[in-house]
Amino acid sequence: MIRLQHVFKSFDAGRTYAVEDISLDIEKGDTLVLLGSSGCGKTTTLKMVNRLVEPSKGTIWVDDMDISAQDPVALRRRIGYVFQGIGLFPHMTVGQNIELIPRLHGWPREKREERRDFLLRQVGLSPQDYTNRFPDELSGGQQQRVGVARALAADPDYLLMDEPFGALDALTRETLQQELLVLKSQLKKTIIFVTHDIFEALLIGDRIAVLHEGRLEQVGEKKEVLSNPATPFVRDLFAKPARHLAEVKDML
């Protein structure tokens, strides 16, 4: 469904690489988590899939089509995108934000509104109470729910999520993580999810790709990555939270 083959990205004409020789396959209906610390290349990798960032070398396919040969605007309309800043248009109501891409696709009004109401219910917001509100009338968690609904509005096969819950408080974040798991099981979308949070990666992902300094350290199912770390970096990455939990347990 989505394939990256020997993908590189340099922002300084090849002197250094933010992403170096990444090859990944994301199968239909799977959730792949790109896990790593800030600056490791995970967001750059994600943005190359919908051409918000152009690769310096390598090839990316979506639906067996090389994305470099596709119109980037048309490509982005086929791929849902949710990011930490949410990015709702402040001058538009919740309903108008969600209906934006279907309207650009030429969906008739009745179909747009039916889809809008369905998605609001899917993310736990009443259409009656929220359709005509503006973003600044919502909490951070409610805005992020609307952001997810907007990304799903045109029923894309793919959903890119870049640290979508990173700016939220712990309780809201946990609630939205659980809601995303429910959406995953119901909607069967192919998802690439970026996070630096190991526990979030283990909760959300079917497979985890660990990035470090622009390179892919390991990719595999969660049990495989945990039980068979491919490099010392991966081993140490997952050992740290275990040590911290043990320390907290000793303190208690």
Longest dimension (CA), the chain: 60
- What percent of the chain has a predicted confidence (pLDDT) above 90? 63
Provide the pLDDT for residue 248.
Answer: 57
Handedness of CA 9, 10, 14, 16 (dihedral sign): negative
Q: Write down the residue that tokens 């990444």 correspond to.
A: 22
Arithmetic mean of pLDDT, 122-147? 92
Higher pLDDT, 71 or 87: 71
Mean pLDDT computed over every residue of the chain: 90
Band of pLDDT at residue 17, cut at 50, 70 and 90: very high
Arithmetic mean of pLDDT, 188-215? 93
Q: What is the 3-state secondary structure (H, E, C) of the chain?
A: CEEEEEEEECCCCCCCCCEEEEEEEECCCCEEEEECCCCCCHHHHHHHHCCCCCCCEEEEEECCEEHHHCCHHHHHHCEEEEECCCCCCCCCCHHHHHHHHHHHCCCCHHHHHHHHHHHHHHCCCCHHHHCCCCHHHCCHHHHHHHHHHHHCCCCCCEEEEECCCCCCCHHHHHHHHHHHHHHHHHHCCEEEEEECCHHHHHHHCCEEEEEECCEEEEEEEHHHHHHCCCCHHHHHHHHHHHHHHHHHHHHC
Tally the C-alpha atoms within 13 A of residue 205's C-alpha that lie toward its C-beta: 28
Provide the pLDDT for residue 165.
Answer: 85
Contact yes or no for 46/241 (Cβ under 8 A): no
Q: Give 219's strand partners.
A: 209
Evaluate if residue 164 carries a pLDDT over 80.
yes
Higher pLDDT, 93 or 171: 93
The per-residue pLDDT for range 83-133, each reduced to its tens digit, is 876 678 999 999 999 999 999 899 999 999 999 999 999 888 999 999 999
- What percent of the chain has a predicted confidence (pLDDT) above 70? 95
Provide the pLDDT for residue 119.
Answer: 93
Q: Which of 193, 186, 205, 183 shows the shortest CA–CA distance to 160?
A: 193
CATH topology of domain 2-78+157-251: Rossmann fold (3.40.50)
Provide the pLDDT for residue 169.
Answer: 83
Question: What b-and-e string marks burial along 89-100, b requiring 16 or more CB atoms within 10 Å of the CB?
Answer: eeeebbbbbbbb
Q: Where are the domains of the chain?
A: 2-78+157-251, 88-156
Its pTM surpasses 0.85: yes
Higher pLDDT, 83 or 26: 26
Evaluate if residue 249 carries a pLDDT over 70.
no
